[in-house]
Structure 1
Amino acid sequence: MRKVFLSVVLTALCATAAAFAAAPATPFDAQAVLEQQKAIRADLDAGKGVYGQLNPATRQEVRERQDKLSRLLQNRRYEDLGPAEQDQARLDLAWIEYAGKTDDDRLVCERVRTIGSNRVERVCKTLAQRRDDRKNSKDNADRALQNRSLSSCKPDALNCI
């Protein structure tokens, strides 16, 4: 019984891996990527923006990957690249994009129990979204406390609670 279960699981994993491996990569516009990399390089050189705040070693790595990417894409289209070159271009683009991510862009997931139910739901938000939600909740609570009346009785009311 155990062998049958393991063989079914192994078959399912192989089928899933084959499906992911066979998924075609979506092409990108090489000239648009080169323009985007020029803007990132300007931020790096000027020391501004997210890329300007990177440490020196990461900045150097971004520059090296940008140079390699620009040599690869210069006067070529995505369709002109071979499969290995397409993979390398995608890898360099992903690395450069990840280097520019801040902690605020990091996705954090938590399991939240729905009010009035035992059902648990997975909620994923970036750290920036979570910080904004906390701030908005605090502001709303403060506003509600300021707007509440201290007494539920009005001066002309006959009976007060």
Structure 2
Amino acid sequence: MRAHSSGVTIITMNSASGPTGFTASSVASVSLEPPLISFNISNRSTCLRAMQLTDSVLIHFLSDQQRHLAERFSGRITERFSPETEWSHLASGEPLLAGTRVWLRVGVQQRIPAGDHTIILGLVRDLSVPSDGKLLPAPLIYQNGKYHGAVPLPPSDPTASSHG
């Protein structure tokens, strides 16, 4: 799966010891009606216990300008919500990272054991997608163990044959 490119997110939640979160590249759309998503968490993750106990998470879709957050939330758990991390709580209580233009508030519906990971199935309860007319920043992409930015491709030539 290293060769497969995927978008980078940070999943945050509350725990008994305060806010916690982790970097994830496994977020996927499952259903439009009802609006369901899924993501995976390693059974060795320092956030697993919090994930088992929470009923709600926030999924932050990172831009290519937020690599530092992806790296911080994949590192030491004690540094994830350090003073350098700007964040606040939503009115519903979940920790929201500053500067994230697209996020989903998700209610945990199922936790499905799957090998050395747990699949989380969640119902989208709220979302933030800018409607100010500004273009969204390019997404942060993870492939082959490295972070990348997405670059738009030029329009294809409709007269070119795809079969050569």
Length-normalised TM-score, structure 2: 0.17
Q: Which has the larger radius of gyration?
A: 1
Query: Which gives a bigger RCO, structure 1 or 2 (Cα 8 Å, sep 6+)?
Result: 2
Structure with more strand by fraction = 2
Length-normalised TM-score, structure 1: 0.17
Structure with more helix by fraction = 1
